[in-house]
Structures are given as structure tokens and as C-alpha cells.
Chains A and B, each alone.
Chain A
């Protein structure tokens, strides 16, 4: 079975500062990895995904993430955050061999950008 751990439930950061949101996963099989963002009362929007290839993945809105297989991590980073980045961020995994491709999500990290 797979599991996803997002250790930080809330991360406050000042505007224009860098941020890292941590994600660790556990799986006995190979997985695809994703980060989604959720704004209040909305669905989830895909930020970026790791399927294969380069371990550094760039996504939308200036976010990037690095896949580290040895540490089973997929941390999300942004060098300079904006007030508009305030939202909930979810890390998710799915088995590469799954016919369903259902996600296992972490519990989320609430990013609050302060002026």
C-alpha cells in the first residue's frame, strides 16, 4: 500500500520569501507523484507532476519540485511567493502499474503568505 505524509499542516511565510512544502511517501512499488493546489471552496488544480526522467520538475505559477528516490521525497519549492499563493497544497501518489490510477493524497499543507 502507498501512503503520503505532509509533515507541515501550516506554513506561514512573508511575501517574496522562498518556501518549501515537504512531502514524503511510502510505497513498495514505483509511483507517479503530483502536487495540487486548492483555493477556498474550489476543486484541485494540478501544479506539477513527476512521471519519469529529470528529477527536477517545473510547474505552473513558478513552482518546482524535486523527486528524491533514496529519501522517498517530493518537496515543493518556490523561490519567491506572492499573496495569491495562499492556498492549501496537496501531494499525491499513484502506482505506475495501476489500471485505475487512483490517487493517495496527503493531508495537505496550508500555505499562508503574509504581507
Chain B
């Protein structure tokens, strides 16, 4: 297992377009998280899955954002009608049940909205 994978690494899109990012967690990890990181800031929590259930969503996650984790494996994060303010690094992380192990983060997807 090579860790948490995110695809694509970089995405440039025009304002108003829809984008989708994918995250493949470590296979035995049942918890999956999405965070957003803007320039000069720490990552901010967006949403959390335990297996296939989305158990918590941040108020940062507007109606234009949706996340799924079908069958409790990979996850997708979709942004509809992108805005320039959506430009950020989107980070995925996974962890085992029982938090003692902390998270493993992916390398992130950098989104630029032009």
C-alpha cells in the first residue's frame, strides 16, 4: 500500500465549470476526511466519512460542494459552478478506527479557477 492517493494533482478550470477530485485512501482505513487549504493558512475541515456514511459536513461546504464515498472505498469531491474563491489545495486524509494513529494525508489536488 502506497498511502493516500489523490487525482489529479493539479486542475485549472474556468469559472462556472464543474470539477471532480478523487481520493483513494489506505485500504484498511475506514475514516476519510476532506480538508481545504488556502495560501498562507492551515487546512480547514470540510467533511468526514466513516465507511460510506458522510457523518459531518462543515458550514464551509456550500450547496455547490458534494462528496461521496460509495462502498466505503474511494471518495470523490465535486464542486459545481466553480468560483475564484474555490481556488485552493484540497487535501484528503484517512485513518483507522481508534484515533491513536492520527491521519495519513494525500499530496492534495491544487485547484486554480480562472
Contacts and interface: CB of A to CB of B under 8 A. Distances in A.
A14 interface: no
B97 to A, nearest CB: 10
Contact of B48 (A32, A100, A108): A100
A101 B99 contact: yes
Interface residues of A, number: 25
B65 interface: no
Interface stretch (A44-52, A65-73, A74-82): A44-52
B95 A101 contact: yes
Interface of A: 4, 32, 34, 36, 41-46, 49, 51, 90, 92, 94, 99-108
Q: Which 10 A-B pairs have the closest CB atoms?
A: A105-B42, A43-B105, A102-B45, A44-B105, A43-B107, A101-B99, A46-B102, A100-B56, A100-B48, A43-B106
10 contacts: A42-B108, A43-B93, A46-B102, A51-B100, A99-B55, A100-B56, A102-B48, A104-B45, A106-B42, A107-B40
